[in-house]
Amino acid sequence: MPMNKIAVFPGSFDPVTLGHYNIVKRAAVLFDKIIVAIGSNPDKKNLFTIEQRLLFLQQSFAEIDNVMVDSYRGLTIDYCKKVDAKYILRGLRNNSDFDFEKSIAQMNQDIEPEIETVFLVCPPHLTAISSSIVRDIYKNGGHIQQFIPPSVNI
């Protein structure tokens, strides 16, 4: 049993938003270490490369000592085992997030009962923020600064 409570916060982070930032900031006091990890998903059409997204994550969380950033291929559960994390952190905005997340968490529970998925509910003012809408605004030349952490230089 590791002494440290390590959580993996997996996602696409294409790009990181204030919603992600809020979840990580609040979780940073609950866990000894959080690894914000970009899962490379070949089925998703990404706007930013993994390298760009890693840089944006580094810029976002540079000030929080116990937050690291990384990327991985394959199953999240396998990545958790590799880094000795017993917790998967996810954020919830609404019912559709919940329905989707519930199934994944339950199947992960079957595969690896020792790894717990922990959910944090986002505050009401961040419910509308999603990476996909931020991407649409960006692609169409709009301003995205108000939706991403101020330290991110996109």
Burial of 121 (0-12, 13-18, 19+ CB in 10 A): middle
Nearest approach in angstroms of CB 68 to ligand ADP is: 16
- Closest to ligand ADP by CB, 13 or 86: 13
Give the list of residues 6+ apart from residue 40 with CB closer than 8 angstroms, or none.
50, 71, 72, 73
**Cis before residue 149, ω within 30 degrees of 0?**
no
Is 44 a catalytic site residue?
Answer: yes
Q: Which of 20, 53, 86, 90 is catalytic?
A: 20
Q: Which of 25, 93, 130, 135 is catalytic?
A: 93
Inter-residue contact 151 to 122 (CB < 8 Å) = no
Is 71 marked active-site? no
Decide: 83 and 6 in contact? Cβ < 8 Å: yes
Q: Which of 115/126 has CB closer to ligand ADP?
A: 126
- Residue whose token pair is 């919940």: 98
25 in active site: no
Binding site for ligand ADP (CB under 6 A): 11-13, 17, 19-20, 23, 90-91, 93, 97, 122, 126, 129-131
- Residue 138 CA to residue 135 CA, distance in Å, equals 5
Q: Tell me whether residue 6 or residue 27 sits nearer to ligand ADP (CB atom).
A: 27
Catalytic residue among 12, 33, 86, 131: 131
To the query of whether residue 131 is one of the catalytic residues in this protein, the response is yes
Q: Which is nearer to ligand ADP, 52 or 130 (CB)?
A: 130
Q: Which residues are catalytic?
A: 20, 44, 93, 131
